[in-house]
């Protein structure tokens, strides 16, 4: 499902992991290492394909695919605890280059910014205030929705928070499940491909455009006259 490019934009809804922060490689490596301790050979690419899914769902799917059996409740808990423990040992993820500037340009053009993330990590949510001047009321997190991505609920909730309609809003995503969620909500979706996935994987999931950098997204919006400076 693809959406039409808006004539004007009131709001841009940003995903967080892999869009604002280069945190996906941390998630990928800690998934691989956590599974390894349980003798399960989890391919790193799976972390990117499952991005946006819950930890439980990722573990159950992996064990089903790799070992052709159901995961036990204890396994699910243990592997997820180990993954979380390994994440806490890593340094904070870096900001994706150019994202602060892109957000500043959008705000200068009067565009409302809302963050739509499945994350439930308070530390990361606090960082949004410091790094991107995003207030708590402008964040849709994993705590605010019943259905996570790829369900449209997160982005529909984002539209409400932004007080904008789908045809005057753009989503910036990096993950197939995120692009699916946004396009199911009827919103024009630009993917920033910061990971190892093929462009086609994001297009097939519903992304309307795929770029490599924040700078390219800014150029596109300017070329289309969507960022008009006041
Ligand atoms: Ca993401």
Spatial distance between the Cα atoms of 217 and 144, rounded to a whole number of angstroms: 28
- pLDDT at residue number 119: 82
Centre of ligand 1 to C-alpha 18, Å, is 5
pLDDT, tens only, 148-157: 899 999 999 9
- 24 C-alpha to ligand 1 centroid (Å): 8
Q: Quick one: pLDDT band at residue 204, thresholds 50, 70, 90?
A: very high
CA 116 to ligand 1 centroid distance, Å = 9
pLDDT in tens, 94-142: 999 999 999 999 999 999 999 999 887 777 778 999 999 999 999 999 8
What percent of the chain shows pLDDT beyond 90? Answer: 85
Q: What is the set of domains in the chain, with CATH numbers?
A: 11-22+94-223 (3.40.50.1000), 24-89 (1.10.150.240)
Question: For residue range 51-76, what is the model confidence (pLDDT) as tens digits?
Answer: 988 888 899 999 999 999 999 999 99
Q: Is the pLDDT of residue 184 over 90?
A: yes
Backbone phi, psi, residue 18, to 5° = 85, -10
pLDDT at residue 122, rounded to an integer: 72
Determine the pLDDT at residue 230: 46
Best CA proximity match to 14, nearest among 76, 106, 120: 106
Using pLDDT thresholds of 50, 70 and 90, give the confidence band for residue 38.
very high
Q: Give me ligand 1 centre to Cα 51, in Å.
A: 6
What's the pLDDT at 56? 86
Instruction: Kindly give the distance from the C-alpha atom of residue 157 to the centroid of ligand 1, in angstroms, as a whole number.
Output: 17
pLDDT per residue over 131-164, tens digit each? 999 999 999 998 899 998 999 999 999 999 999 9
Tell me, rounded to whole angstroms, the distance of Cα 4 from its chain centroid: 21
Q: How far is the CA of 227 from the centre of ligand 1 (A)?
A: 24
Ligand 1 centroid to Cα of residue 174, in Å, is 5
Q: What is the mean pLDDT of residues 36-49?
A: 95
| Angle ∠(210,150,111) on CA atoms, nearest 5 | 55
- CA dist., res. 171 & res. 151, Å (int): 15
> What is the pLDDT averaged over residues 200-225?
96
State the distance from the centre of ligand 1 to the C-alpha of 140, rounded, in angstroms: 13
Distance 70 CA to ligand 1 centre (A): 27
Cα 138 to ligand 1 centre (Å): 17
The band of 26, judged by pLDDT with boundaries at 50, 70 and 90, is very high
How many Cα atoms occupy the beta-carbon half-sphere of 107 within 13 Å? 11
Q: What pTM, to 2 d.p., does this model score?
A: 0.91
What number of H helices and E strands is found in the chain?
A: 10, 6
98 alpha carbon – ligand 1 mean position (Å):
16
Ligand 1 centre to CA of 87 (Å) is: 16
Average pLDDT over the chain reads 94
Q: Residue 34: pLDDT above 80?
A: yes
**Rounded distance between C-alpha atoms, residue 216 and residue 223, angstroms:** 10
Backbone angles phi and psi of 133, in degrees to 5: 55, 40
């Amino acid at each position: 499902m693809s959406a039409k490019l808006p004539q004007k934009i009131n709001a841009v809804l940003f995903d967080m992991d892999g869009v604002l922060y280069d945190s996906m490689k941390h998630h990928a490596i800690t998934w691989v290492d956590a599974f390894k301790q349980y003798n399960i050979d989890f391919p790193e690419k799976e972390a990117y394909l499952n991005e946006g899914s819950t930890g439980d769902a990722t573990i159950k799917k992996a064990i089903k695919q790799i070992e052709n059996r159901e995961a036990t409740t204890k396994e699910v808990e243990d592997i997820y605890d180990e993954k979380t423990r390994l994440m806490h040992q890593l340094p904070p993820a870096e900001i994706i280059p150019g994202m602060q500037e892109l957000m500043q340009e959008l705000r200068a053009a009067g565009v409302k910014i809302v963050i739509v993330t499945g994350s439930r990590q308070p530390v990361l949510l606090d960082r949004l205030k410091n790094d991107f001047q995003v207030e708590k009321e402008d964040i849709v997190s994993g705590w605010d929705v019943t259905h996570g991505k790829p369900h449209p609920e997160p982005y529909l909730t984002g539209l409400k928070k932004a007080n904008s309609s789908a045809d005057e809003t753009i989503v910036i995503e990096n993950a197939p499940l995120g692009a699916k969620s946004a396009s199911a909500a009827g919103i024009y979706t630009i993917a920033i491909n910061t990971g190892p996935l093929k462009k086609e994987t994001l297009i097939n999931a519903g992304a309307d455009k795929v770029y490599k950098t924040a700078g390219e997204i800014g150029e596109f919006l300017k070329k289309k006259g969507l960022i008009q400076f006041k």
